[in-house]
């Protein structure tokens, strides 16, 4: 049991820059499964829901205990590779706040910091049009987050440095 911590390592209005950093961070990962990735968005009205599902007909709509037709509604999409994740994120980011999460990966051991390989808490996320992992409030910026074990601030900084980035804010509670 437990939750990740999510360290922001980039805030930018350039979604391509966020995707480039994500690709670099995935290359630092000891291992990752390309199809262990999904997108989540929240449609706040019928128009957003229509646009999201028309853009990606394979998306799942989850009313999450709400009556059909009650908003906001969660929309999720599994993607099989990095290129499709980037394309879907670009499309959905033009419609609403959303995020892409790579969840099936391993961060490498960092012996000089006394850190073993990390699987349970290893995730990478781009929150589009948001500064927080849940995309609660709209911003013009996209945020890249490294998820890791609570207390592993050094791992987040180490991973970011390997990709030419740095931690740009305090961690927040993750999943």
pLDDT digits (tens, 9 = 90+) for 17-60: 999 999 999 999 999 888 899 999 999 999 999 999 999 999 99
pLDDT at 1 over 60: no
Q: Please tell me the distance from the alpha carbon of residue 123 to that of residue 61, in angstroms, as a whole number.
A: 23
Q: Please tell me the distance from the alpha carbon of residue 2 to that of residue 9, in angstroms, as a whole number.
A: 22
What pLDDT, on the 0 to 100 scale, is given for residue 70?
A: 85
- Taking the alpha carbons at both ends of the chain, their separation in whole angstroms is 11
Tokens 């409030």 found at: 137
Q: Please tell me the distance from the alpha carbon of residue 17 to that of residue 23, in angstroms, as a whole number.
A: 10
Q: Provide the percentage of residues in the chain whose pLDDT is more than 70.
A: 99
Strand partners, 102: 37, 124
Residue 39 is encoded by which pair of tokens? 């997108």
Residues constituting the chain = 175
pLDDT at 119 over 90: yes
pLDDT at 2 over 80: no
Q: Where are the alpha helices (DSSP H) in 29-66?
A: 46-55
Compute CA 115 distance to the chain's CA centroid, rounded to the nearest angstrom. 23
Residue 131: what are its φ and ψ, rounded to 5°?
A: -105, -5
Q: What is the mean pLDDT of residues 113-125?
A: 97
Q: Are 38 and 100 in contact (CB under 8 A)?
A: yes
Lateral strand order in the sheet of 60-62: 60-62, 73-79, 37-43, 98-102, 123-128, 142-148, 5-12, 172-173
Among 3, 1, 14, CA closest to 128: 14
pLDDT at 170 over 60: yes
């Amino acid at each position: 049991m437990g939750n990740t911590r999510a360290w922001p390592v980039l805030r930018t209005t350039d979604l391509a820059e966020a995707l480039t950093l994500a690709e670099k961070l995935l290359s630092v990962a000891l291992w990752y499964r390309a199809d262990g990735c999904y997108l989540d968005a929240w449609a706040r009205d019928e128009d957003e829901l229509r646009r999201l599902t028309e853009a990606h007909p394979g998306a799942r709509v989850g009313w999450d205990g709400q009556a059909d037709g009650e908003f906001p509604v969660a929309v999720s999409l599994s993607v099989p590779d990095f290129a499709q994740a980037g394309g879907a994120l670009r499309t959905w980011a033009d419609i609403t706040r959303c995020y892409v999460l790579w969840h099936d990966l391993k961060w490498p051991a960092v012996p000089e910091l006394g850190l073993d390989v990390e699987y349970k808490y290893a995730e990478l996320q781009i929150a589009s049009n948001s500064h927080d992992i849940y995309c609660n409030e709209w911003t013009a910026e996209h945020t890249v987050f490294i998820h890791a074990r609570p207390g592993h601030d050094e791992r987040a900084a180490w991973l970011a440095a390997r990709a030419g980035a740095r931690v740009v804010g305090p961690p927040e509670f993750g999943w």
